[in-house]
Structure 1
């Protein structure tokens, strides 16, 4: 299938929901942060709901909320909820068996691609939404710090 932006949208939405905690957010509010379309966001949120990562309520105060604690949701959870198929695209059709490269490349690439995909899954499984939220808040605090004069030379 190849790479898409669905996992980035999903992780962004989950981090927003974690940021606002008990307050439900609408798909329009999340879409504003993404500078995207609420319909796209609703599709992604629907996949996250199917995976048990978010839930929604309807009505006047309705919206989307996390179904699990941010520390219990990994980036891999988000990725696997919205992406289907392998990360790296394989040959669309078999290469020529008449060519020495064509005869062997699929098998060789399959091993390499599978190892790379496992490494990515493992890495994404180590980072939680809570971890990302902490980083967002730390960076936001850094932006809010008043400008400091440079330290004197030799200090």
Structure 2
């Protein structure tokens, strides 16, 4: 089971667009962002589409096509990004119902649901306190 990188790639894209706009550019292309993230532009476009539906970016078609932020990085949190690109809970239960006749099979889901709810609440709280401005500041502080 591999780790999911959608939140990281989406945060990368938003920070990149934010920095690019600060440098005087109006829009960024998915090819430019994909090059920075070393990710196929099609993947970037899909993520940006989800970010657009969440109101974090907008796109322009035709001449001068590309993506831009709808608001400043300081007003976007990692929770905003997480909710835009992640669907469903962080952890899932069994795909098939466990054996109700087994003591562990009977009690595992209620026990794990309580644990997972606490983890999810902590995750959301932590993501809500970090803005994309914080992320970009930390990115720019990393020595080359």
Tell me which of 37, 57, 61 is aligned to 2:60.
Answer: 57
CA–CA distance in structure 2, aligned partners of residues 3 and 72 of structure 1 = 27
1:59 to partner: Cα distance: 2.1
1:113 to partner: Cα distance: 0.5
Superposed counterparts of 1:81-92, under 5 Å: 81-92=84-95
CA–CA distance in structure 1, aligned partners of residues 83 and 66 of structure 2 = 23
Query: What is the SS of the residue equivalent to 1:4?
Result: coil
Q: Which residue of 2 aligns with 1:153?
A: none
Q: Which residue of 2 aligns with 1:99?
A: 102
Query: What is the SS of the residue equivalent to 1:41?
Result: helix
Contact 1:17 1:65 in 2 (8 A): yes
What TM-score do you get using the length of structure 1 for normalisation? Answer: 0.86
Query: What is the SS of the residue equivalent to 1:64?
Result: strand
Please give the per-residue CA displacement for 1:101-143, whole angstroms capped at 9, x wherever unaligned. Answer: 111110000000011011001101110000011111122xx33
Tell me which of 47, 52, 56 is aligned to 2:50.
Answer: 47
1:3 to partner: Cα distance: 5.7
1:28 to partner: Cα distance: 0.4
Q: Which residue of 2 aligns with 1:80?
A: 83
Query: What is the SS of the residue equivalent to 2:68?
Result: strand
Q: For structure 2, which runs of at least 5 residues remain unmatched after alignment?
A: none
What TM-score do you get using the length of structure 2 for normalisation? Answer: 0.92
**Number of aligned residue pairs:** 140
Q: For structure 1, which runs of at least 5 residues remain unmatched after alignment?
A: 144-155
